[in-house]
Structure 1
């Protein structure tokens, strides 16, 4: 299998390098099936042999591409989806556009152009033909040049337009012979061109992009790359219209469904730019004069603060403490002026002095987290301690030590971590289940795409068989006409033969007609009566081999003379013996049998008995 896969990839590489068609992004299952189908028609027995065949027969590329590129399309294919597109997308699009703004549409994978013409008819119905010609541009692209050449003519068979409503068929198509041609004035707004969705740059600034039953032929990686280009091609409020086998469930960051059942999607915007930064040129705010008594307010606020605080001077003396500090550490107003090192709080719950020295030396706050402090009630507090240097202009006044009780936060954090762990476990299970569902969905989607691909292939084959059936029916009609002519000719010939037989039977002379080789062609009834030899016994035999009572040796010169075209030979009178054995006298005359071109085709021998 590895060797076969390698040969197939080598074939795809050669096709890409030789003709610029990159099929490496197509799904291998359907691609191998279609290449095998073409190989069976050549026929060859392997991918390596087929590569050699392509190198020797460059014309084979066209047949191969026609087999791989299944160009199945039609007017108003899936009518419900087209009606939803008209009412939910096209009419709102026209209403939202300013009257002079252009409307740009891209029909990707257009094949022979039926979908592009469908879009043109729908927009012309909404806008009117004049506005349509002035504002609308429909870009119809495909990778198959042969299909594009057919699409540019916009000429379709009667069976191709069976799904076009009669009123639209009358308004937008002109019957020419057995075909229907799309209106030329509207056809000019449809621009056909070659575009490889895998390799070529997308058309930009389009309001609507239709790509129906094309993505399903590509693998997931190539689909993602193409969808990224579609996202770039559409305007910020652009719409994507796909085929019924294409879902986009794994590309929600690019497109969101408008109508998932009909495969109509809206482009997801990449996000609005951040807001402008605040202005920095505002005039400075004038601060009012400080009211009297603020020191008392500040002291009261410090004392009532929920966090324990201690202020230490530059030389290590207690300058201030609040009520919460007295409750936790026993430091009160009585300890003001005492050295910090003499108090228990200097080393319990943590060695404070080195952190104070660090804050004084570096002139920046020092934070200590995760400090545990056992209380006398048997509980343990969790504290975060921050040592802040107190600076006045350039001089260091001291430090402020703040003890934040984070016990409740720690408990909440522990509970949150436990909940997070449980949530993570549940999320992993959910993720696993989601991945399994996603895998199942991908398999189902792949199956749907495979079935749709097979349906497209069967439809293509059915169209080929219908074409062959029409040709066979035409040939059969011609053969029936020929048979009827032959029947009439045969009847006429039978009538002529019957008439001739009647004439020969009515003659009293024996008539014998021979060809150039003296083989009997006609032996009438009178000849049977004379010589006793039936016509069935004589016709086809050599004249000289017949056992009759006529001396044929004497007749032969007369016959030879007639075969040369001499009509002036004189009759002979000869003695002969009739069928009853009686001697008789016969008169023998011979004349040439003309062939219609000035020559002779045999001789006529007339025998009369006395």
Structure 2
């Protein structure tokens, strides 16, 4: 059984080695139990049981990397997650951090393991509340990093659903977010101060000069050795007395006293002023641990190293006497060995390029490091900019030995920063223009896509119409041929039709009864001789006239219902006796028969009225 476990572990290590070799992700520092559990979960999802089999699948299916990383890197996050700790950060940590820095000093914040960005934007809201939006935009930079590119992509987009904003109070939601197509986007003017980038805490170099480092619920995924390495990198990243904010489930496992607890319950720590991390400090360890060197030689080496230092540096005693000056300080400020032992107040350096005595006294009394930025010094017709660090020198027995003053020449960096800021402004402007252009292009693309679809539909309809027209053309040609044949036939039969018409006319003249035929619009189509004799209206006067417009002795308006029924009902037929006045002005009783005029198609085409004077019959 133990051999099987060992074999399984070996195969699992092969998977980790392949991930590091193929994709550059080094998971060897993660806790094996958690890591194996998550890899096994993904293996179960794809239906594989052996690590070797799953390694084959990774080699043949590149898309499987993404699914595996999403399973390993569980990005559980939220806005102001663990509210009690964030409230402590707001009420205690941020005010102290601001009080320790000058009003114009910039603030650098690092959100390590930022996932999809909620933690970084929570920090942005926290400092915007504390400083005000305008000051925040001028002073604060938030660096948000993660190894998960998909999470970083979502974080850069800065839009969240209602469910992801659950728990955020209405005031913050309304002030810091804007509704965008059913989602909520973080304010663009504050979004620009948050810089997202990929950073592997195990392999990549840390960001430096950080005032507040937030890394919550990330260290817990690493083993103790890897956690120690990461914490040493964090120690290097933080500025003097910088603050570290961890998750509630995490503790500092490093045995080095490189961080001091501020509040253990909320997992807030401060960079220890006398702590020493091993990151990037091989020179210090090499000198202190080499026992073969004699003490005088070591002291001489230290003096030479101090004198040859690349930055201007000097040391004053507790009594403010100049004790040590290196070569760079002598060249920069015109000092020499004759000035050693003189009181600082007697030297020009005490008041230029800055009021140094007050700073030395403050560092000595408060026993804390001071950093003064943007110190201008005119030398030999040129302007040099310094960042001055004033550090108290405290012995192991907590005795104050003196104060070290270091002048860092930041002229080049200042120029680069100015160029960088100018470039950033240009990039931001270009980004806004590109964003606007991109949105316009997306809109235009959608419109073009819609137009293409409409044109395709129209083309199909035109194609169908063309086919129908071709069919109709063939039918019309055939009909034309038939009509030509019918026309020839009708021409041959026209004489026969004239004879038929004459015959029908003879019949109508022979019938004594009055006959009136109307069409469906009640226009008179036939008016025979009998009708002329009854009512005294000639045929040419009656035909084409509306029946109800005739001024005759027949009360046609009383017959309206019966006639309209005959027009619409093909089966209608009725006979009535009505009182009328004939053409001679005499009263007459008329037998009137009304029937529908049946057409060949079986529908009513009008009405047929037959009228007889009953007195004439007697």
Structure with more relative contact order (C-alpha pairs < 8 Å, separation 6 or more): 1
Question: TM-score range, shorter-chain basis?
Answer: 0.3 to 0.5
When the two structures are superposed, what TM-score results if normalisation uses the length of structure 1? Answer: 0.45
